[in-house]
Amino acid sequence: MRRTRLRIHLPELRQVSNRRRHLPLSRGLRARWVRAASSSAAAGAVGSVFKASGCVLSRRLAAGPVTEVWHARTSDGRRCIAKFPVASWAGHPGAARLIEREWEFLECAARPGIIPAIGLIQMRAGPGLLTEYLAGGDLVPLAGSHPRQWAAAAREVALVLAGIHDEGIVHRDIKPRNVLFDSAGRATLIDFALAMSIGETSRAGGGTPAYQRRSHRQGAAASPADDVHAFAAMVYELLCGELPFGLRPTLRALETPPMSPFHKAPALAEDPKIAALAELTQVALSERSAEPARALAVFQLALHAIITG
C-alpha cells in the first residue's frame, strides 16, 4: 500500500521574539542569548532555507502528551525533524511556549555535540521547531556492549554538559535515547524540551524518573547535579545493559540504594579502567558525587582512558 504523505504549506519563517521575561536566565545565559539573537548571519542562513514556504511531513517518530515529532523535508529537499503541538494542544499558549523555550535553549547552548536548530515555523497547531536530521541512530542499541564501542560518545556528552552548565543551562533529560549519531558517527545531544536555567523551578514531573535524582523528581530547583546523576545512570546502563533499578522501576524502587554495577556485571572488574568507570557511576548515583563540574571532568578522564587504552 502506498504511504500517504501529509503535506503542510507553511508561511515564510517568522522572526523569533526574545521573550526573556518568561524565561529566567542566569547572567551568563542571558549574555549568550543576546549574542545569539543578534547574529544576522545566522538569521539569514535560516531564512534562506524556507523562502519557498513549504515542508512535507513523512513519518511520525514520537508523540508525547503535548508535542509530537516527525521526520520531514523542507521544500528544497533538505531532511529535518519537526516538533509541534499535538492536535489536542493546537493553539494552546502553553504548548507554544514549550516549543519556543526549546528553540531559545538550543540557540543559547549551540555548540558541536548539540543538535543544530534550523528555526521556528508557524503551523496550524502552533509554532513548529525544525532541527537537523541525524541518520546514525541513538545510543540505546549499545547498552551492554564493550565500553570501547560507546566511550567516545559518552565522553562527548560529558563535554557538552560541562559546556552548557557554564552557560547556565541544565538539560534535565539525559538518557541513551537522547544521544544520536550523525552520518560521520559523532554523538549529538538532542531534546531540550525539559531544559531549564540553573536555579529555575517548576512543578514535579516530566522526563524519565529512572534517570532522575530524588530532588529532581520532587521538583527542586534545576541543578547541574541533575545532569550528572542522569549521565551516571546512562553510563551504568551502557556498562550493564540495564538501569540500576530495572527496566521500568517503580517510584518506591527509585528510593532504594542502587545495585552495584559489579553485581549486575561481574566482568567489569576484570579491566581496571572499566572498573574505575563503574565505580564512578556508583558514587554519582549514590548522590555522594563531587561538585558537578569536577564529577564530569573525572568522568571524562575515565572515558578517555578507555578510549586510548
Q: Is the pLDDT of residue 201 over 70?
A: yes
pLDDT tens track for 276-296: 999 999 999 986 666 999 999
**Contacts of 160 by beta carbon, 8 Å cutoff, 6+ apart:** 111, 113, 114, 189
Residue-level pLDDT at 40: 32
Residue-level pLDDT at 48: 32
- Which grid coordinates are listed for 148? 570501547
CA distances from 113 to 2, 85, 184, 240 (A): 37, 26, 12, 25
pLDDT tens track for 64-89: 899 999 999 987 888 999 999 999 99
Pairing of strands 169-170, 179-181: unpaired
pLDDT tens track for 8-49: 333 333 333 333 323 333 333 333 333 333 333 333 333 333
Of the options 3.10.20.30, 1.10.3720.10, 1.10.510.10, 2.60.40.180, the CATH number for the domain spanning 140-308: 1.10.510.10
Q: Which residue has the higher pLDDT, 302 or 49?
A: 302
Residue-level pLDDT at 46: 35
How far is residue 89's CA from residue 117's CA, in Å, rounded to a whole number?
22
Reduce the secondary structure of 222-277 to three states and give it as a string: CCHHHHHHHHHHHHHHHHHCCCCCCCCCCHHHHCCCCCCHHHHCHHHHHCHHHHHH
Closest alpha carbon to 227 in 283, 177, 165: 165
Residue-level pLDDT at 19: 34
Which H or E run contains 132?
A: strand 126-132
Q: Which CATH class is domain 6-132?
A: alpha beta
Residue-level pLDDT at 206: 76
pLDDT tens track for 88-111: 999 999 999 999 999 999 999 999
Q: Which residues, in sequence order, are bridge partners of residue 171? A: none
Q: Is the pLDDT of residue 262 over 60?
A: yes
Q: Is the pLDDT of residue 50 over 60?
A: no
Structure pTM?
0.82
Residue-level pLDDT at 290: 66
Residue-level pLDDT at 205: 67
Residues 174/95/164/112 CA torsion (nearest 10 deg) = 80
CB 129 within 8 A of CB 82: yes
Residue ranges covered by each domain of the chain: 6-132, 140-308
Residue for grid cell 516538533: 83
Residue for grid cell 573525572: 298
Residue-level pLDDT at 30: 34
> What are the b/e assignments for 151-188, b being 16+ CB within 10 Å?
bbbbbbbbbbbbbbbebbbbbbbbbbebbbbeeeeebb
**Contacts of 222 by beta carbon, 8 Å cutoff, 6+ apart:** 170, 172, 196, 197, 198, 199, 200, 201, 202
CB 153 within 8 A of CB 179: yes
